Structure formats: C-alpha cells, structure tokens
Amino acid sequence: MTTWVPASCTLPTLEQPLRVAEFDALFAERLSGTARPDRLRLEVTLTGGEGVEDRVRDLVARESGCCSFFTFALAADPEWIRLVIEVDAAHEAVLDALQERATTAAGRDLS
C-alpha cells in the first residue's frame, strides 16, 4: 500500500501515523463511495450520522493546516457527506494513495 504522507507535510513525524489512522477509521466506518472525475480531484461519499459532519470538518481543517496543497470542500445532509479533495499536479500521487487508502480501509472497491 502506498503511503500518502508527502515530504511537504508539516505535521510532526510522530503525529503522522495518528492522522493516517484517523482517516483510515473514518473511511472504514463511513465510506460509501468514491469517484475520480479528474486526476486531481477525488470525491468521497460518507454516510452521515450524529456528529459525523463535525468530525469530518475537524479532520480536514487539521489536515489543511499541515498539508496546504490539499483543497477540501464539504457538502452534507443528515444522510450523507460529500467530501471533495483536490490537489495540484505535483501532488497527484498523494491523491492516488489517499484513494487507495480509502478503498482499502473500507474493505472494498467503491470507485
């Protein structure tokens, strides 16, 4: 499995596995689909529920703080959350690896 934590990430090295584990847990618990409409854009659909939107907003805010090459957009209703993740061309491999982690954590290919 490809790692998706690039050298440009400013999150302290000791904290990186914890952040990866947070994403893995979110994907394992809530991922219902992925789409890749563009090589630099990944759309992730998560099942909604009590506190899930706040959890996702917190996680992507913290990720944006250490990996400024990510752009996150979020839309939600009570049933689902759509998370759009975009990167620049220099970080396409990071997006590839994130998509791989998401589907692996969910235990199935959802693309």
pLDDT digits (tens, 9 = 90+) for 27-64: 999 999 999 999 999 999 999 999 999 999 999 999 88
The CA-based angle 98-100-105, given to 5 degrees, is 95
Q: In what order do the strands lie in the sheet containing 80-86?
A: 31-38, 41-47, 80-86, 71-76
Query: Residue range 91-99: average pLDDT?
Result: 91
Query: Does the pLDDT of residue 100 top 60, yes or no?
Result: yes
Residue 1 lies in a domain: no
For residue 10, being part of any structural domain is answered with no
pLDDT > 60? residue 14: yes
- Cβ neighbors of 17 (< 8 A, separation 6 or more) are none
The number of folded domains in the chain is 1
**DSSP H stretches of helix in 32-91:** 52-66
Domain assignment of residue 95, given as a range? 16-106
**Mean pLDDT within 104-108:** 79
